[in-house]
Structure 1
Amino acid sequence: MSQSFPKSDADLQRLRISHESTDSTHRPDSLSNAASSSAAADDLDLDDLAEQFAEEIRHGGKPSIEAYAKRHAEFADEIRDLFPTILTMEKLNRRKQKETLAAKAKAELDIDQLGDYRVINEIARGGMGIVYEAEQVSLGRRVAVKVLPKQLLSSEKDIQRFQREALTAAKLHHTNIVPVFGTGEQDGHHYIVMQYIMGVGLDEILSELRSNVLREPSISIRSDSSGSARSLHIKHNAAALLHSEIRRDSLQRSTTQSLSASMTASIAGSNGRSDGSTKTANQDNAPEVSSRTSSSSNRPVTINANLNAEFWRNVAKIGLQAASALHYAHSHHTLHRDIKPGNLLLDDEGVVWVADFGLAKAVEQDNVTWTGDIVGTIGYMAPERFTGQTDERSDIYGLGLTLYELVTFQRAFEGRDRVSVMQKVTSHQLAAPRKRNPSIPKDLETIILKATAADPNDRYQTAEELADDLDAFLEDRPIKARRMPLTEQLVRWCRKNKAVAGLTAAVAALLIAISVSTSVGYMQQVEQRRQADEMRRQSDQFVDEAVNVLERIYGQFSPNATAMMSASSIEPDEDSGMFDSHDSMPISKDVAFVLENLLSFYDDLSQRSSDATSVLVKSVMANRRVGDIHYRLGDLSSARSAYERAIERFGSLPDETKLNSTMNVELARVYNGLGTVVRWNGERGKAIEAHETALQHLESALKPDQSVRYEVAHTHFLLYHALHNPFQRRRGPAERDEAEARERHLQLAIQQLEQLLTSEPASAESQFLLARCLAERGQQLRWREWRQPDMNDFEKNAVDRLTHLIERFPHMPDYPFELANVYLQVFHSISRYGSPQRSEGNKCVRCQQDLLETALDVTKNLDRRHPNIPRFMHQQVDIQRFLGRVYAASGDWPKAETAYLAALDQARNIIDEFGDEGGFQSSRLHDIQLDRAQTLVALEDHNTAISILQSSIEFFEGRRESFSQNRFIRRWVEGRLKDAYPLLSTSLRATGDENGADEVLCKARELR
């Protein structure tokens, strides 16, 4: 199969060399037959295109009208006029099918009468039961009846609990709580009777809002017998929320009987989509899974509507009414346990109704486990509920997430399955609302953030407090909730990072002491000069101690300490117990944020110290370390800013300080960091310049000690990489000189490190860098020994050194990462960079499989233990995707499918966590999908293959147009399309679509 999407300079070079010789011997024979088919497709007329468009919809696809118009320009106007109607008709047809299924389900349940209640029709259904519209015959009033699944109440104890909770809920009398009238049982079916509310759930309104505001397709959350009227009701309430003033409270509202009879009623608690099919409790509680990678990202959404002040006020009014209902229920010792948009109804008077009070508790099982049913909707459950704890603040959390969704138009937590959503909830990976939608008022965001705090102690302690702040927001009064200041963030962060907590506290105490001892008022009270001098001396001592504490904090989190230095390089404090563990300190964006803010302490200290130069020197070092951390986290922009800030601070130093050997080494590290960052940004010339500047500073060092010699070797290694030009095709004298310079830099690095290790053989830092240099030297030999399956001596040496380092320091993540890279390097060589070869028979494929499985084994759980380091995740994607190719080459299609799914899951995680600037990660995602499609064809899962291929082809056609001026990327994209079209033709033909198969083959020929 064709090569993977390039992520690095090395990848680009590999692609350039291997593109012309891509081997396809591992493909199924059917693909070759399809590719060589000479059948010509007839020109499609408008009717054919319309039928093709409709068929895509019927098979679950989401075809783009605009894409059809562009591909068939001769019918563009007709397509834009006709296809929206086809889309609507197909949606109506699908809805009709669902309604038919619902009617069939009702007939199978055979419920026409439940005691005194005559069933009229079904309103909604889900794992928590089916909701019917019914008439209470004796009183002649309309009610809603929820019939619970038999399996939820399987014992006498379950039934007693259900009746007890229903009785408790029936005692709640509040203007924003759906009244419960009673319970009953018939033929083993237990039911609960509630007031019939003419309103729609906020989940349905949110779906409509997304359609209006984000221009997303509107998805029906529930189906019922009068869908068109309900749809109008949803649109009406969504429009009112956006543009009109809804009620602030429920006083003086009209009775439900006065509302339009044409509006279809809804009762909350359907807990899931009513698609006319019965769902289990587990299905019901499953998270909403989205195929849109952007929906769960932290990037801002594109707002296509004018969100005026009234909209934000309406959101606050909804929250105020719901909070009022919760406070009332909590004061009566009743928890809801399942607050979410689907359990909050909004009627056309603007009144919010909270439904299903106590029902979650009523159907709770005795033995709730992680593998069994967790009552409540996963994406709206508070983190503490996963440890079996819940109280009023858990309900507040659910309401906070509902408000979060209303203001951002996105779910707070999404994932591909229950486990992934659970992980996000428990780790509280919640983006600030304004990060997703910058137009949200700050006070409203502050309220939501406080309501959704991970720690229950940080939330509103009562629903009344939440209601008071929402009321203050509506009246434009100051709210009581406040944004967490930096000092408090530091304190909370220290709770989670206890090894550094004492240091941060020491910094704060020292700053207070410095502030007091150097204040003007204090000094004016000192009558004698001797006392003043003593205070200055004490102040300088305080500054020295504060700087020392700060330096230890930064040193503990520096990537050098984390990944490359021996544990013994950080000495423990015997008195304080700090640094009592030799494990590396985990770094994350939160850590980077705190350390970035601590940098301001240096400015304060330099102003208070009589030796400002010394403090400034430490500031240079601290900025460099912050840059290292940002780079390790994949934040190249912030890393660059930190490095440039360090260079600027260095420029403020006196000349005599700049000549100091220690400062020259430090500045060389800064320039090396900057060079690495700009190289990854594609600025090769600036990278070379930065590393050469680093080398100049090292040559200026007065004392060539161990640290200088190590950094010299490191700089030569970085220059070796910076001089590599993956797009270079010309082989003139200049290019040969550059290649010789690369070779020379690598050789100098190896020589320098071998000399260092002669005097310091236990230096983990030098051993690690030498192993990386030897691996590169081994790769150079592979250019001459093409497809040699055995490791050469350089590679074996690198593997031995890395293996020894892993044994010495098992918690250092970079060691297994680089060891896996060596195995990948050998794999790439013998497989023509990712395309498994059969030229040497099954033995060659088996060798490739062994290499990849070994790489997977040595990095087991590395990405999970360090989820904030993107390159660890990228490596796992590569290993799994190449394993998929190897398994496919050997005909083990089930294993290939498993590997591809693992690669895709990790690739989506990367996009969710780190974004997709430039669309490169999406390109890789679709690239893997094309590999997977081959496996699906072999497994004869043609419908799934068609869906994947059509989506990926549309994506790559768009990329081909976007990169029409970039010859290299355009050729890569066209190569992938040449793979995709024959696959699609094969699957279309297998499903009987001969015309479609011929059409895509014609497109494939156009690429030749």
Structure 2
Amino acid sequence: MMQNPEEENLRKSTSQQMMFGHYVLQKELGRGGMGVVYKAFDTQLQRDVALKFMMPGTMKGQKRFLVESTVMAKLNHPNIVRFYEFHEKPRPYFVMEYVEGETLADLIKQQRIHSDHLLSLMIDVCNAMAHAHQHNVLHRDLKPSNIIITSEGKPKIMDFGLAKLSNDYERDLSKAGDIVGTVLYMAPEQVKGKAGKQSDIYAIGATIYEALTSQPLFASDNQMNLLFHILHDIPITPRKINSQISPYFEAICLKCLAKNPRKRYDNFRQLVHELKSLRDKKPIRAKKYSFWDTTNHFVGKHKWLILVLCSVVVTVTIAVTQYLNDRVDNEKKQALEKHLENVQRYANQNNFRAVIKSCDKAITIAPSRVDLYVARGIAFFSLGEYDSAILDYGVVIKLNPNVPRIYFLKAECHFRKNEYDIAAPLYQNAIDLNVKGRKGYCYFRLGQIFESRQQHIKALQYYNKAIALSFVHPQLFHHRGRLYYFQKKYAMALRDYNKAMSLYPNNAVLIAGRADIYFAQQKFHKAVDEWKKSLEIKGVDSLPPQSRNNVKLRIKIAKRRLK
């Protein structure tokens, strides 16, 4: 291939450490169709840098080089190679941070990447990509060779310009003039020319897959076959290649690799949260790959064969089912049905002791039925026996860790026991799993927990989230109003107390709280009237004895102010 004379001179000069402005060019690091990168030394700032020069070429190439410079200048993240400066003369070039280390591709090739280490790296990489997407930057070329690991073990993403820097690892996957090394990490929609943010998530999935299995997502000797695999085939599941891989890590990886972009993670923030949940051994959104997933993929790929065999399968299934049903232990089945009917009947009667006894009997017959532990846990909770309820909810979580309501119920038990440090993450788990009908209540409880810790700003944030979800409860407005009162935001506090009292009109605590606001606003007549009204309320909505004494004292103080 003919070398451009200017490029040839630059290549030869690096062996002699040629000066380029105030940079000493030391060695070539890599090159692609659009640019070449050199390690250099900045004589002014006394530091090593990487210089990327644009290769002489088309106007389109020049524009892409400028776009890459602009993109990198927008990004400032510890896990993205830093951009320093850009110049157009004497030839277009930009200066980047020089990173000493190995690429993730090197570690994969040498099989020196453990799953825990990979998980930590991917959390950092996905955080960096979340930052990039926040600035509307798509990478479009994420792959192991574009992730470099520093000597401190921290990953940094490089090459935001689709300039393919050559390296030994990619030569193994591609041949001269081909782009297989890039296509290998492309999402189906990117292959069709419609790359979006979800395409970068797919590329991360392909990277995780390769790191977990030490082999590429699809193996092919030519680009056309590879494109067909990406568009139509399902990859071999990682655990079939290595059974030691965590099924949950596999689930996250395969969710990233979904053919349909809408079935992947919504964004990198969500993916970071998922990876951190895996690291911290918390529930994740992605479901483990199962026999049914294999079946669904097979059916989708062989629809006509399935239709031909359908009638035969149905006939055989009916026969086998009938045979198995005849062998069911009818006595146990009937006994279980009776106990289940009793559980429902006693629950309708609020006879919680009877519910517990019926659940005990049913569990001896069907010890893996989640609904029995849930019913018994609710019965214990209703009786105030929170420790027993916690044990039952714990069993449910072990049997099925992806039931949002159970985390909420277990959190409520710990909250009632004032075990706020245990309750808080359980409420958050329920929120993360999108608990139906209880999300606003979970935010309210988290607000109460942070308020008890005197973290008022954090508490306000959670109260606001609860209200934003249209969660309406007098105590919610009471608590938020009280925090506004402490912040001396009296108009906002009064608004919340008025809302609380519209929901719970004759509550002495709310009336006395509103009087406190009037007093702070120096509306002493109104304050005295409200405090007197709070003292007149009797029964369950009355003031506690100590509060009554405080109110009487404040009435005296207010009357003195009126004189």
Q: Could you state the TM-score of these two structures normalised by the residue count of structure 1?
A: 0.28
Q: Could you state the TM-score of these two structures normalised by the residue count of structure 2?
A: 0.48
Higher relative contact order (CA 8 A, sep 6+): 1
